[in-house]
Structure 1
Amino acid sequence: MRKIGVILFLCTALLPLLLSCESNFRDVQRINSVGFNPVGESENIDLKYTDSGKVKSILVSPLMRDYTNLEFGFNEFPKGVHLTLFDTQGKKTFVDGDYAIVYEDTDVIDLQGHVRIYTEDGKELTTEQLYYDQKNEWFYTEKFFKFTDVNGSFLQGPGIDFSRDFKVMNTQRSQGSINEVK
């Protein structure tokens, strides 16, 4: 009987303490949480970037979140993007990614997930993460990639950087097979 009394005493003495800990824990969580809310959200966007009256790129996405109110502002595309890039002759390069972030100050796009870049003439590169420097029209990744073309040639390995039209490519440790152009 004495043990039951001690247990009841401890429970009644510790219960307010435990409840106050829960309350304090939630307060601490709220204090430590950063106000990381977007300034705005846009659904089903179709953005066209023009320069001197010519369309340079088109970005299509089901959802964009705008965090440009932060010190290092960015736009997030949590449901993926489809990007169409136009060169000076009007040739198109297409880029698809499951997730993307566009950093406002650097004009760098970070594409993630199943990333695929392909051209009208049949060149294609796939990887799990790809960065695109919009100012220099240059792509790069440190992740594993695979590049193929219409001739059946391929190149694969970790790390590559290349021009938007694939005319200039720098690789680190790649391997592949180059077939004769027909």
Structure 2
Amino acid sequence: MIKKKLHIIKNIVTAIAVTMFFSCNNDFDEVQKVGILQNQPIGEAENIDLKYTELKNDTVKLQANLISPKMLDYSNRDFAFSEFPDGLKLKIYDDDNNMTTITSRYAIFYSETDLIDLRGNVVIATYTKDTLFTEQLYYSEKMEWVFTNQPFYYKQTIGFTKGNGFDADKDFNNFQMLEMGGDFELDN
């Protein structure tokens, strides 16, 4: 009796295994399509006008305004990021409502590290009319720090400075150049 039940179970398992074996398809084209979908953005937005506000003393205060023609959301990746392929304009407001404007032709924001990589004709214009020009600039939101190893040109009301590479806090109060002088050319 037990041998008969074992024999029946063995036959059922064999039938299921054979059915599964012959029903499997190795369609490489379908596998490739899945890979392509994983490399596509999970979301796409156009004509972005994002306002970041903060509640202070029962008053809502505008902290920043991000404007961009297009944003691609890659939060489906292991190392999530948002890409701004057509550039961006970021207006940042301080406690006295003074505005600093940052523009670039391309940007990418890495959400896990809070690092922003700005590229292509990067310009930072402060409310005091100080202006920084460079081709690539990184901004760390956590440290509130900007830095680059690229050539830069920094125009102030008291004169100008140009060099290669710098580090600075977000208000440019603590500014350090890596190398003074050098050639500077904007990407046209």
Category of TM-score, reference length = shorter chain: 0.7 to 0.9
Q: Separation in 2 of the partners of 1:111 and 1:92?
A: 19
2:163 is aligned to 157
| 2:43 equivalent to 1:37 | no
Secondary structure of the structure 1 residue equivalent to 2:39? coil
Where does structure 1 lack aligned partners over 5 or more consecutive residues? 1-25, 177-182
Q: Which amino acid aligns with 1:72?
A: F
1:104 is aligned to 111
Corresponding pairs, count: 152
1:170 is aligned to 176
Q: Aligned-pair distance for 1:174? A: 1.2
Q: Aligned-pair distance for 1:51? A: 2.4
TM alignment of 1:130-141, pairs within 5 A: 130-141=137-148
The answer on whether the counterparts of 1:100 and 1:109 sit within 8 Å (CA) in structure 2 is yes
The answer on whether the counterparts of 1:127 and 1:146 sit within 8 Å (CA) in structure 2 is yes
CA deviations over 1:27-76 (Å, ceiling 9, x no partner): 99769767311111110001111222322111100000000111111110
The percent of aligned pairs where both chains have the same amino acid is 41
Secondary structure of the structure 2 residue equivalent to 1:35? helix
Q: Which runs of 4+ in 1 moved over 3 A?
A: 26-34
Q: Separation in 1 of the partners of 2:126 and 2:104?
A: 15
Q: Separation in 1 of the partners of 2:64 and 2:143?
A: 14
Larger radius of gyration: 2
Where does structure 2 lack aligned partners over 5 or more consecutive residues? 1-28, 183-188
Q: Separation in 2 of the partners of 1:39 and 1:31?
A: 13
Q: Separation in 1 of the partners of 2:34 and 2:97?
A: 52
CA spacing shift, 1:159–1:55, aligned 2, 3 Å = same
